């Protein structure tokens, strides 16, 4: 009697995580993504499995050692060049500060590693596009974090769009933000570099790359933008309690025109007090229905259930308009978005498939931020050039080895 054969051992993919002890690198990429993948593995569509072996990289050896010991990780180093030269590590994950990211990405591209990186991918559009061209010429797989697309509220919005709920989408209004304490009488809940332009801070550079991939993938590419920025809080206090001038904007008010004619208005502010269900809210109006969604919840109002208001400012209006909206059901179990995107990227890598959210998509986000700042500086609407017009396939003649 034949005995059943044991299933093949999973493929082990070595993953460099640069910036592993930072807030995002540690919490979202290590603890909530790579460690669960290490412990449970990942089933691939071809029936095989893979698991990951993380290598923690950072500048503080003591902090790396403490993090590695806490999570039973044998591999950590402060030597990025040494890690990139070792073929055991196939994938390079980048969670560095934006100003440090381009140089590290260039090293990883030159080493031939597959790349999965946080955004913004660079501080300028020219550099972000150059990185994408380098990676394409090197023939490596490359991906950029698009985490907000994987959140429950945005997945519900995707479902509404795919199901034709809205009809023709007319407009989108997005409100994002909250009060970030100045740091004098209460500690700030964001790092001080966020408010210094020289360190890569500012609402536009921080959030417009997010708005870029959300708008592009949900509603259509941005064709033009008008932005008004403001530094509402001119003085803040750093982590040491020292006052410093805020040289980067803490708010941006924008109007986007999308391909197809949809108009998006967007208020992003770290100097506003929240009066909505979540810290970000998308109000989408269409010919057949409307929706209001956040990162987790969502409510809808169909054309057939829309009330008929009559404007009369002389008398109080007794109508409860909020009661006219119906919740969008979950209809699914939503996992951590960072882990899900890691799973999709590693699946593409293991099976040799293309990955849609690549460094060119990342460059598009940097382009939107750069054009947004240009619009604010000029005080007028600015048109975005499409990437295919700026990136002919023969545009790059010299690349890193």
Q: What is the pTM of this model?
A: 0.91
List the single range of 75-89, 140-154, 381-395 with lowest mean pLDDT: 381-395
Q: What is the pLDDT of residue 5?
A: 63
Considering the chain, what percentage of its residues have pLDDT values greater than 90? 90
DSSP code, position 130: H
Helix (H, G, I), strand (E, B) or coil at 182: coil
Q: Is the pLDDT of residue 399 over 60?
A: no
Query: What is the C-alpha separation between 206 and 161, in angstroms, rounded?
Result: 27
Q: What is the pLDDT of residue 387?
A: 81
Q: Locate the domains of the chain by residue range.
A: 11-145, 149-327
Residues 36-88 have pLDDT tens digits of 999 999 999 999 999 999 999 999 999 999 999 999 999 999 999 999 999 99
Residues 228-245 have pLDDT tens digits of 999 999 999 999 999 999
Residues 187-210 have pLDDT tens digits of 999 999 999 999 889 999 999 999
Residues 260-306 have pLDDT tens digits of 999 999 999 999 999 999 999 999 999 999 999 999 999 999 999 99
Considering the chain, what percentage of its residues have pLDDT values greater than 70? 95
Q: What is the CA radius of gyration of the chain?
A: 23
Query: What is the C-alpha separation between 401 and 398, in angstroms, rounded?
Result: 9
Q: How many CA atoms lie within 13 A of 272 on its CB side?
A: 17
Q: Is the pLDDT of residue 2 over 60?
A: no
Per-residue H/E/C for 189-221? CCCHHHHCHHHCCCHHHHHHHHHHHHHHHHCCC
Confidence of residue 400 (pLDDT cuts 50, 70, 90): very low
Query: What is the C-alpha separation between 103 and 122, in angstroms, rounded?
Result: 9
Q: What is the pLDDT of residue 81?
A: 97
Burial 252-266 (b: 16+ CB within 10 A, else e): bbbebbbeeebebeb
Confidence of residue 388 (pLDDT cuts 50, 70, 90): confident
At 378, which helix (H) or strand (E)? helix 359-378
Helix (H, G, I), strand (E, B) or coil at 251: strand
Which tokens is 66 given? 């403490």
Query: What is the C-alpha separation between 131 and 344, in angstroms, rounded?
Result: 22
Confidence of residue 6 (pLDDT cuts 50, 70, 90): low
Q: What CATH number labels 149-327?
A: 3.30.360.10
Q: What is the mean pLDDT of residues 22-33?
A: 96
Round the average pLDDT of the chain to a whole number and report it.
Answer: 94
List the single range of 2-6, 254-258, 279-283 with lowest mean pLDDT: 2-6
Q: What is the pLDDT of residue 4?
A: 59
Q: Is the dihedral of CA 366, 126, 144, 60 positive or negative?
A: negative
Q: What is the pLDDT of residue 180?
A: 98
Q: Is the pLDDT of residue 395 over 50?
A: no
Bridge partners of 286, per DSSP, are 169
Same fold, 11-145 and 149-327: no
Residues 353-368 have pLDDT tens digits of 999 999 999 999 999 9
Q: Is the pLDDT of residue 7 over 50?
A: yes
- Strands (DSSP E) along 106-160, which ranges? 114-117, 142-144
Q: From the centroid of its chain, how far is CA 295?
A: 13
Query: What is the C-alpha separation between 279 and 180, in angstroms, rounded?
Result: 12
Q: How many CA atoms lie within 13 A of 362 on its CB side?
A: 31
11-145: CATH topology is Rossmann fold (3.40.50)
Query: Which strand ranges, in their side-by-side order, compose the sheet holding 289-293?
Result: 326-327, 298-302, 289-293, 280-286, 169-177, 263-269, 251-258, 222-230, 382-383
Q: What is the pLDDT of residue 3?
A: 55
Query: What is the C-alpha separation between 20 and 168, in angstroms, rounded?
Result: 44
Bridge partners of 18, per DSSP, are 57, 94
Does residue 95 contact residue 19 with C-beta atoms inside 8 Å? yes
- Of 121, 112, 171, nearest in space to 139 by CA: 112
DSSP code, position 27: I
Query: What is the C-alpha separation between 50 and 113, in angstroms, rounded?
Result: 18
Q: What is the pLDDT of residue 200?
A: 86
């Amino acid at each position: 009697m034949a005995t059943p054969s044991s299933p093949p051992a999973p493929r082990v993919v070595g993953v460099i995580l640069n910036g592993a002890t930072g807030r995002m690198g540690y919490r979202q990429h290590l603890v909530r993504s790579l460690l669960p993948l290490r412990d449970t593995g990942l089933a691939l569509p071809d029936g095989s499995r893979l698991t990951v072996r993380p290598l923690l990289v950072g500048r503080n050896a003591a902090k790396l050692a403490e993090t590695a010991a806490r999570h039973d990780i044998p591999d950590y180093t402060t030597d990025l060049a040494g890690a990139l030269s070792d073929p055991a590590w196939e994938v390079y994950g980048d969670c560095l500060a934006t100003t440090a990211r381009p140089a590290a990405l260039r090293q990883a591209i030159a080493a031939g590693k597959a790349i999965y990186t946080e955004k913004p991918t660079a501080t300028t559009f020219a550099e972000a596009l150059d990185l994408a061209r380098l990676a394409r010429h090197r023939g490596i797989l490359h991906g950029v974090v698009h985490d907000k697309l994987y959140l429950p509220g945005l997945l519900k919005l995707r479902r509404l769009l795919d199901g034709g709920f809205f009809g023709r989408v007319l407009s989108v209004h997005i409100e994002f933000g909250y009060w970030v304490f100045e740091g004098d009488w209460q500690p700030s809940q964001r790092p001080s570099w966020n408010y210094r332009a020289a360190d890569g801070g500012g609402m536009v550079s921080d959030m417009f790359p997010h708005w870029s991939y959300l708008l592009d993938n949900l509603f259509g590419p941005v064709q033009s933008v008008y932005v008004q920025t403001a530094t509402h809080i001119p003085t803040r206090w750093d982590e040491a309690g020292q006052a410093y001038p805020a040289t980067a904007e803490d708010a941006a008010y924008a109007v986007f025109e999308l391909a197809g004619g949809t108009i998006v208005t967007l208020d992003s502010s770290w100097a506003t007090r929240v009066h909505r269900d979540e810290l970000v809210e998308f109000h989408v109006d269409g010919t057949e229905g409307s929706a209001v969604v956040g990162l987790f919840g969502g409510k809808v109002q169909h054309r057939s259930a829309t009330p008929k208001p009559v404007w009369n400012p002389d008398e109080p209006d007794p109508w409860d308009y909020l009661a006219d909206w119906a919740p969008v059901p979950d209809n699914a179990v939503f996992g951590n978005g960072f882990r899900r995107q890691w799973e999709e990227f590693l699946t593409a890598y293991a099976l040799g498939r293309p990955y849609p959210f690549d460094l060119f998509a990342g460059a598009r986000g940097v382009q939107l931020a750069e054009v947004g700042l240009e619009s604010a500086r000029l005080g007028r609407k600015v048109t975005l050039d499409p990437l295919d017009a700026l990136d002919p396939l023969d545009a790059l003649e010299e690349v890193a080895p």
